[in-house]
Amino acid sequence: KAGVTQTPRYLIKTRGQQVTLSCSPISGHRSVSWYQQTPGQGLQFLFEYFSETQRNKGNFPGRFSGRQFSNSRSEMNVSTLELGDSALYLCASSLVKSSGQETQYFGPGTRLLVL
Amino acid sequence: LAKTTQPISMDSYEGQEVNITCSHNNIATNDYITWYQQFPSQGPRFIIQGYKTKVTNEVASLFIPADRKSSTLSLPRVSLSDTAVYYCLVGASGGSYIPTFGRGTSLIVHP
């Protein structure tokens, strides 16, 4: 099976702009989660989508948003970019079992640099 | 929300067995324990997952005592390519589950 893919892999934006990142999950996986990773804060959960609905959300401002399409592909959007948004953005897809067991498989990430 | 505690760093030598322990004192009944490996500028890679006792796959073993308040990732005969950051994650899907990764353990394998 193909793994999680993320596009683009690298992105440079300037403050105030907005950006959209895309994630294609592993075939059959209906849950997609997004994370931000920075040297200072580590790996932080942004939100999770399951069957096109946001199921959980981390502690990030409303400038960070996402959506999931019927084919489970997901996008996340960051509006009014700030310098502190420079980070590696990771997408993870998972197959959730009725027991609650869930294994997340991560994509390679999108490296965003805000100037 | 099960908080995890791991050593910040560990050093080893090629060919040795490495054991990394993660403490999760308030693990919930439904929670699973998952370990990931991450290289710089790459996404975390799934290593192993377990609920209780011992789980083994082709790359690692996971030991979970009966009280489940800790877990130990065992990497047999490490090589230089095992130099990475290792994270343990505790939780179960559903409800208000917020996956919380700690700072992980930076493992350096020396020649």
pLDDT in tens, B20-49: 999 999 898 989 999 999 999 899 999 999
| Residue B95 confidence (pLDDT) | 66
Q: What is the DSSP letter of B94?
A: S
Contacts of A29 in chain B (CB under 8 A): none
Side-chain half-sphere of B44: how many Cα atoms within 13 Å?
Answer: 32
Q: What angle do CA B61, B63, B69 make, to 5 degrees?
A: 145
| CA–CA distance, B111 with B93 (Å, rounded to integer) | 40
- The chain-wide mean pLDDT, for chain A, equals 94
Does B49 contact A109 at a Cβ distance shorter than 8 Å?
no
Would you say residue A78 has pLDDT above 90?
yes
Residue (of B55, B102, B97) closest to B74 by Cα position: B55
Q: What angle do CA B63, B66, B67 make, to 5 degrees?
A: 110
| Residue A3 confidence (pLDDT) | 94
Does A58 contact B98 at a Cβ distance shorter than 8 Å?
yes
| CA–CA distance, B84 with B101 (Å, rounded to integer) | 15
| Residue B58 confidence (pLDDT) | 95
Q: Kindly state the percentage of chain A with pLDDT values over 90.
A: 88
| Residue B1 confidence (pLDDT) | 55
| Residue B102 confidence (pLDDT) | 86
Confidence of residue A65 (pLDDT cuts 50, 70, 90): very high
Does B99 contact A31 at a Cβ distance shorter than 8 Å?
no
Distance to chain A for B101, nearest Cα, Å: 6
CB-CB contact of A47 with A35 (8 Å): no
Q: Which residues does A23 contact at the CB level (< 8 Å), separation at least 6? A: A4, A5, A6, A32, A34, A73, A74, A75, A76, A91, A93, A107
Distance to chain A for B36, nearest Cα, Å: 10
| Residue A20 confidence (pLDDT) | 98
pLDDT in tens, B62-99: 999 999 999 999 999 999 999 999 999 998 776 678 88
